[in-house]
Amino acid sequence: MTKARDISKLLSTANGKIAGANLDVSFENISDTGTAGTKVASGTTGQRGSTAGQIRFNSETGLAEYYTGTEFKVIDSPPTITAVSPLEVDSTAGGNITFTITGSNFQSGAVVKFIGSDATEITASTTTINSGSSISAVIARSSFVGAKEPYDVRVINTSGLSGTLDNQINVDVSPTWSTASGSLGSFVEAVSLNASVSATDADGDTVSYSETGGTVLNTNSLTLNSSTGAITGTAPTVNADTTLSFTLRATANSKTVDRAFNIIIKNLNTNALLFDATNLNNSNISFPFPSNSGLNGLSPSTAVTFTNINGSSGTLANASLLTNKTRLDGYYNQSNFKTMGTTFWTISGATSNLNRNDGNNSNWFGVYSAAGSNRVWFTLDMGENPTFKIRRLAGYAEWRTANGDFMLYGSNSLPSLDGTTYSTGGLTSLMYLVNPAQYWDSGYFTGDYYRYYVFSVVGSSNYDWGWAGTQWYGDYY
C-alpha cells in the first residue's frame, strides 16, 4: 500500500476529517508560527472540563481560564482607579451619596467597597458600570464614620482581581445650629441692640457666620460678626413695631447650614400719659389741673390707658402692691392700704381719720403724725421685663400741714424695706419734691425700665399731707 493510500484510509469520506477512532496523536513543544493567534476551546461555565491544565475561553465571562485540578482560575489583569469624586461626605446629612469612579478595566458585575482607616469595609448598595473606565457607586451617607477617615476606594471585578486608590474620602459633617430659629428678641428703636447666634461643628472646624439671601441686617445698620455670631448696632427708628426677618448661614470648612431668624424693633412712645386718676370722683379738687400747674406746658404726646400698656411679662394694669414693702407710721397702720383694683389706684385709708370732705377716698394716700413719726411709703411690683417707665408725675397735695416732701424711687431688685425700717439703699431717686405746691408737677426726669417703684411722703413731726389726683407720664413700647 502506498503512503498516499494509507493517509486516505484515515480520512472520513463523509466530512473529510480524520476519524477519532483512527487518530492517536501526541504533540510536544508545539510552536505556532501563525500571526492571527491560536484558538482554544470556547464554551460556557457549564461546559468546563475537569482535567488539570486545560485552557479555555469562557464565553459567559469573556475571559480565558485554566483548570488547576481543583478550580478554574481566570486569566485577567486587575482594574485600575485614577480618580474618585466627591472626596467628602456629610454623614449626618441623610440619604444616599453617589461617587463617580474613573479608571480602566472595569468589568460588568464589579463591586465597589470603601475601606476605613481601621480596615473595616462598607459596600456600595448599587454599583453601575457605565463603561470600562467609569463606575457610579451609591451608598448611604450614614455608613461613613468620621473616626475612620480617610477611606480607600476599591473596585473588585468578577475575576476577583481588584484595584485600590488609598486615602480618598474624608467625612466632613455640617455645622449644627445651637440657637433656635425664630425671634432673637425685642429691642426698642434707636437704642443699642445686642443679639447673638451660635453654631458648633462636630469635626472641630471653625464656624463662620454670614447673612444669605438678602442684606436685611446691613440695610438696617446692624453688623453681624462673622467670627462670633454677635449682631450689634443701633436699632433702627420705626413708626410702628417692626419685625426684621433674615437668614443666617453657618459655615464650617466647606459645609453650610442655613437658619431663619428675626429681630423685633419696638416703636417707642415717649412722654405719653400712662395713668390718670383725675377721672375719679373728687368734689373738692378741680380737674383738669389749672394752667399754672405746668401740665398745659408739658402736654403728653399720646394719651393711653393702663390696659393698653402691655409688656412681655407684667403690665401697668396688673401691678402688685407689696404689702411687706408698704408701711404707714404714726396714726395710721398698714390695714389702711387696700388691694389694687381695676383702676389700679385703690389705696385708701379711713375717711373719718383723715378728715376728707370730698366723700371719696379711692385715689389718694396720706400721712398724719401727732407723735413725731413722719414717713409713709408703698412699693409696687410692675412685673418682670416692664415695657414702660415713669418719667414725670403730677398731682394734688392735700392738707399741706407743716412740711412734707414727695418722693419716687426706682429699682430692679427687691427694695430693702419691711414693716419696721425704711431704707433707700439700692434705690434710684427719680423725684424729690420739697413742700410741693397744692397743684404740683415734677417735670420730666430720667429713669430706667424699673420693675419696682417706691412712693413715699416724708415730713417734720406734726404734719398732715395727702397725695391725690395723680397723673403719670412716661415712655412705653
Q: Where are the domains of the chain?
A: 3-75, 80-171, 176-266, 271-476
Compute φ and ψ for 141, nearest 5 degrees: -60, -35
Q: Which amino acid is at 159?
A: S
pLDDT tens-digit profile, the chain (477 residues): 455 556 555 555 555 565 555 556 667 888 888 888 888 999 999 999 999 999 999 998 888 999 999 999 888 889 999 999 999 998 888 999 999 999 999 999 999 999 999 999 999 999 999 999 999 999 999 999 988 999 999 999 988 899 999 999 999 888 999 999 999 999 999 999 999 999 999 888 899 999 999 999 999 999 999 999 999 999 999 999 999 999 999 999 888 999 999 999 999 988 887 766 665 444 444 545 554 444 444 445 444 444 444 433 344 544 666 666 766 544 444 444 433 333 333 333 333 333 333 333 334 444 444 344 556 677 777 777 788 889 999 887 777 777 788 899 999 998 886 655 667 888 999 999 998 888 889 999 999 989 888 888 776 666 667 777 677 888 888
DSSP 3-state of 317: helix
Class in CATH terms, 176-266: mainly beta
The three cell numbers locating residue 136: 457610579
In total, the chain counts a number of residues equal to 477
CATH topology of 176-266 equal to that of 271-476? no
The CA dihedral of 77, 79, 82, 83, to the nearest 10 degrees, is: 180
Is the whole-model pTM more than 0.75?
no
> What per-residue confidence (pLDDT) applies to 319?
60
Helices (DSSP H) in 343-464: which residue ranges?
Answer: 351-354
**Class of the CATH-defined domain 80-171:** mainly beta
Amino acid symbol at 263: I
Q: Where are the alpha helices (DSSP H) in 92-144?
A: none
DSSP string, 13-79: TTTSSB-GGG------S-----SS----EEE-GGG---STT-EEEETTTTEEEEE-SS-EEEE----
C-alpha span between 280 and 363 (Å, rounded): 7
pLDDT confidence of residue 193: 96
Whether the bond between 86 and the residue before it is cis, its omega within 30 degrees of 0, is: yes
pLDDT at 298: 47
Are 103 and 81 within 8 A, CB to CB?
yes
Residue 124 CB-half CA count within 13 A: 24
Q: Of 127, 157, 164, 134, whose CA–CA distance to 62 is shortest?
A: 157
CATH number of this structure's domain 271-476, picked from the four choices 3.40.50.10490, 2.60.40.1180, 2.60.120.10, 2.60.120.260: 2.60.120.260
Dist CA 203 CA 89 (whole Å): 12
* 155 neighbors 165 (Cβ within 8 angstroms): no
